Amino acid sequence: MANLTVALAGNPNTGKTCLFNNLTGAKQHVGNWPGVTVEKKEGKILYEGKLIKIVDLPGTYSLGAYSEDEIIAREYILNEKPDIVANVLDATNLNRNLYLTVQMLEMGANVLIVLNMMDEAKKMGIEIDIEKLSSALGVKIVPTIASKGKGIDEIIKTIIENSNMKRDTEFKVDYGEKVEEQIDKLVQVLKKDREIIAKYPVRWMAIKLLEDDNNVIGQIQNTNNGKEIIKHVRSLRKALEKELGVNLDSCIISKRYEFIEDLTEQFVTESKKDIVSPTDKIDKIVTHKILGIPIFLAIMWLVFTFTFSFSAPFIEWVEYGFSALSKWTETALISIGASQLFISFIVDGIINGLGSVLEILPVLFMLFIAIAVLEDSGYMARVAYVMDGPMRSIGLHGKAFIPFLLGFGCNVPALMSTRTLENKRDKILTILANPFISCSARLPVYILFTSIFFSKNQPLIISSLYLIGILMAVISIKLFGKVLPKNEDSSFIIELPPYRFPTIKGVLIYMWEKVSDFLKKVGTIILAAVIIVWLLSSLPFNVEYASSESFIGRISSVIAPIFKPAGFGTWQAAIALIFGVLAKEIVVSTLGVVYKGGIYGLNTAISQHFTPLSAYSFMVMTLLYAPCIATIGTIKNETKSIKWTVISVLYGLIAAWIISVLIYQIGLRLGFM
């Protein structure tokens, strides 16, 4: 049990995640694009015998009810009631950052302000009278430079000193005489409801109701007098808006800003220094009307060239290493007199099965280094800007492009990043199309098959697979776009963070996070699949290993004919695809187990059982068919709908079958082999 719970909250790009890492010593990646923390993350620190739990909330501009991350952050503060909310502010952008602070203070949270990026503020000539601002807000303020680790101890000390702090006066923003009058009346009404008093700060509730906050209205509906209260509020709003002549929600937001401006005018001085920011200079080029897209394509080309050409020699090393390992192990096991069955398990099962997957490791190192550089530099948000035009032509907008870009790494975080899309329709379309984007787990399959059949034009063949994936994504968006009802509120707005030099530490943390995820996957789900496939290949006892008489042979022979029109009707291909749903790398590890004889043996077996054409068709099948289990789970989580999850899986299966059959049949007629 933690003695203290601290929530970290703040706008996107305020250095929140960086601070979290500094506080907890965790190695979490810090991105430079809005929406890095889409899920709340936890870490723990032990300080002078106290255990402090730190929860990193998603970065939000507000605690309204407009996006899921805002609701996550708000519900955590309301329901879990952390002892302290450490609110991270960007000192160079106080007015906007304080907006969130004011909202949290209104919720009655015990707020501690972490004033971050003090060095940048100083450079810009911004001076903040911290003491006076602190006493005006009634909140402790700790200045920090998270990127350099400055002020971290101060934060922990202040957290411990203030964990039991109770304000002597309730924090209040003055909303003007007429609105205040109605707030007071509403408070009286709400106070009669015990359920509400127990759960929510009453004045906050009254303000939210006047703001017409959907989330609060939804929650209050279920209380005893909920329906009556809502009815009452509706007429109040109407009367007030008529009297004031403005939208009540806008009026309330403006009043909060007025309150903030009043503070910053008193306590913040800015000596105007006109620096032409390097960000604007870079933006002039990379967001150029004509050059923007070619620059983006060139960068992507560089990313993939870098990934594949740098990793190629290492792949050979790994291949050689595993082949040597399996020979050595076999000899060693024979010499100590291990049973035939055990040798087969270790060599054919574990080493060959996992080795064929681990071959991909060098590619992953390079790919994730490249993606980390893209994310950390701040370029990711510019991609959204540059791709807005093309995305519009298929009925989405630029922000929906980020999930596709992340999909080249892994579809799971890509799908989670769809949370930053405000519009439900955009979100569903992006989710349905994303699994077709070729993630890194498909690479072992491409690399295995292209190295056997297309060694001369490997880059061309692999690029064509990526293109087929992208094309299918586009077609799916068009297709489902026709079915889903249009809503006009598809507005594009994204913050463009200042460019920052990616740090080596940051890039390595990111890469290691992804690679260790992969290694965990190899050690758990892929290992388990390897063992099961080996067992099914070895049983029943008296049959030849991995023959059509073994369990695995018998089971998959039933399914194999389905794939015959696509060119690969063997039971080995069928079983690889079936197990591949667990994780697409398993397609390769399964082939490694059922075609025994070491990694080089696997190559020989594949060149006997496939032709170049059927190999291509098989790769397309692997690319397009059902998403892996983790992706399916994420689709379910993000759409919160079994219907869409089932549609996504079935759609993938059917589309994959049709397209690989078309490729094989047309290829045959064209004279390919």
Question: Contact between 138 and another protein (CB under 8 A)?
Answer: no
Q: Is 280 in the site for another protein (CB under 8 A)?
A: yes
- If one asks whether residue 92 binds another protein (CB under 8 A), the answer comes out as yes
Rounded distance between C-alpha atoms, residue 460 and residue 377, angstroms: 29
| Phi/psi of residue 200, nearest 5 degrees | -125, 150
Number of residues forming the site for another protein (CB under 8 A):
41
In the complex, minimum distance from the CB of residue 416 to another protein, in angstroms, rounded to a whole number = 21
Distance CA 264, CA 308 (A): 52
- Residue identified by tokens 């003090």 is 118
Should residue 257 be labelled a site residue for another protein when binding is judged by CB under 8 A? Answer: yes
Taking alpha carbons only, the member of 515, 369, 415, 503 closest to residue 30 is 503
Amino acid at 407: G
> Quick check: 249 binds another protein (CB under 8 A)?
yes
Is residue 464 a contact residue for another protein (CB under 8 A)? Answer: no
The window from 87-95, 477-485, 547-555, 605-613 that contacts another protein (CB under 8 A) reads 87-95
Half-sphere exposure at residue 436, Cβ-oriented, CA atoms within 13 angstroms: 25
Cβ proximity to another protein: between 133 and 410 the closer is 133
CB of 347 to another protein, least distance (A): 55
Considering only 198, 336, 483, 493, the residue that binds another protein (CB under 8 A) is 493
Distances (CA, A) of 339 to 343, 345, 346, 353, 544: 6, 10, 11, 20, 16
How many Cβ atoms sit within 10 Å of the Cβ of residue 525? 17
Query: Is residue 147 within 8 Å of 15, Cβ to Cβ?
Result: yes
Alpha carbon distance 38, 58 (integer Å): 5
DSSP state of 147: G
Q: For the CB of residue 402, give the shortest distance to another protein in the complex, in Å.
A: 12
Question: For residues 61 and 446, which CB has a smaller minimum distance to another protein in the complex?
Answer: 61
Span from 145-153, 277-285, 542-550, 633-641 in contact with another protein (CB under 8 A):
277-285
**Residue closer to another protein, measured from CB, 66 or 512:** 66
CB of 582 to another protein, least distance (A): 39
Question: How far is 341 from 578, CA to CA, in rounded Å?
Answer: 25
Sole residue written with tokens 């950390």: 376
Is residue 657 a contact point for another protein (CB under 8 A)? no
Cβ neighbours for 396, distance < 8 A, ≥ 6 positions apart: 426, 429, 430, 477, 490
93 touches another protein by CB under 8 A? yes
Contacting range for another protein; rule: CB under 8 A; set: 50-58, 490-498, 526-534, 622-630: 490-498
Binding residues for another protein restricted to 43-62, rule: CB under 8 A: 61-62
- CB 396 → another protein: shortest distance, Å? 12
Are 212 and 249 in contact by the 8 Å Cβ rule? The answer is yes
The amino acid sitting at 371 is I
> Which strands form 140-143's sheet, in the order they lie side by side?
41-47, 50-56, 4-10, 84-90, 111-116, 140-143
Nearest to another protein of 16, 521 (CB atom): 16
- Is residue 259 at the binding interface for another protein, with CB under 8 A as the rule? no
Given 36, 496, 509, 591, the residue binding another protein (CB under 8 A): 496
Binding test (CB under 8 A) with another protein, winner from 494, 577, 599, 623: 494
CA distance 178 to 17: 41
Nearer to another protein, 139 or 383 (CB): 383
Among 283, 319, 330, 375, binds another protein (CB under 8 A): 283
Nearer to another protein, 62 or 182 (CB): 62
Q: What is the DSSP letter of 360?
A: T
The answer to whether the beta carbons of residues 367 and 314 sit under 8 Å apart is no
**Which one of 242-250, 349-357, 433-441, 592-600 is the stretch in contact with another protein (CB under 8 A)?**
242-250
Min dist CB 374 to another protein, Å, is: 17
Least gap, CB of 290 to another protein (angstroms): 9
Smaller CB distance to another protein: residue 422 or 517? 422
Q: How many residues does the chain have?
A: 673
In the complex, the smallest distance separating the C-beta of residue 18 from another protein, rounded to whole angstroms, is 18
Q: Which stretch binds another protein (CB under 8 A): 74-82, 162-170, 281-289, 431-439?
A: 281-289
Q: Smallest gap, in angstroms, from Cβ of residue 494 to another protein?
A: 5
* C-beta of 124 vs 474, nearer to another protein: 124
Q: Rule CB under 8 A: is residue 66 a binding residue for another protein? A: yes
**Least Å distance between CB 133 and another protein?**
17
Alpha-carbon Rg for the chain, nearest whole angstrom, is: 29
Q: Does 125 bind another protein (CB under 8 A)?
A: no
Q: Give the pairing type, strands 111-116 and 84-90.
A: parallel
Position 119 contacts another protein (CB under 8 A): no
Cβ 149 to another protein shortest distance, Å: 24
Structure tokens at 580: 């591949």
Question: What is the per-residue DSSP string for 298-345?
Answer: HHHHHHHHHHHHHHHHHHHHHHHHHHHHHHHHHHHHHHTT--HHHHHI
Instruction: Classify residue 77 by its DSSP letter.
Output: I
Based on the number of CB atoms within 10 Å of its own CB, is 107 exposed (0-12), middle (13-18) or buried (19 or more)?
buried
Q: Does residue 85 contact residue 109 with C-beta atoms inside 8 Å?
A: yes
- Residue 7 or 496 with smaller CB distance to another protein: 496
Nearer to another protein by C-beta: 498 or 633? 498
Residue closer to another protein by CB (options 483, 493) is 493
Report if residue 145 touches another protein, rule: CB under 8 A: no
Angle between helices 16-24 and 152-162 (to 10 degrees): 80
The residues in 363-422 that bind another protein, with binding defined as CB under 8 A, are 381, 384-385, 388-389, 397-398, 422
Of 99 and 595, CB closest to another protein: 99
In the complex with another protein, which residue's Cβ is closer, 66 or 551?
A: 66
Asked if residue 250 binds another protein (CB under 8 A), the reply is yes
Q: How open is the CA angle 309-314-315, to the nearest 5 degrees? A: 90
Instruction: Find where tokens 């003695």 sit.
Output: 3
620 forms part of the interface with another protein (CB under 8 A)? no
212 is an interface residue for another protein by CB under 8 A: yes
- Residue 671, classified by CB atoms within 10 Å of its CB into exposed (0-12), middle (13-18) or buried (19+), is exposed
- Characterize the bridge pairing of strands 4-10 and 84-90: parallel
Q: How many angstroms separate the CA atoms of 382 and 377, rounded?
A: 10
Could you tell me the two tokens for 607? Answer: 């060149």
Answer positive or negative: Cα dihedral of 163, 165, 166, 172.
negative
Give least dist CB 398 to another protein, A.
7
The span of 105-113, 162-170, 495-503, 553-561 binding another protein (CB under 8 A) equals 495-503
| Closer residue to another protein, CB minimum distance, 48 or 274 | 274
Give Cα 386 to chain centroid, integer Å.
21
Residue keyed to tokens 């006047």: 210
Looking at 39, 161, 265, 495, which residue binds another protein (CB under 8 A)? Answer: 495
In the complex, the smallest distance separating the C-beta of residue 94 from another protein, rounded to whole angstroms, is 9
List residues near another protein by CB under 8 A: 61-62, 64, 66, 90, 92-93, 95-96, 99, 124, 212, 247, 249-250, 253-254, 257, 279-280, 283, 287, 289, 381, 384-385, 388-389, 397-398, 422, 489-498
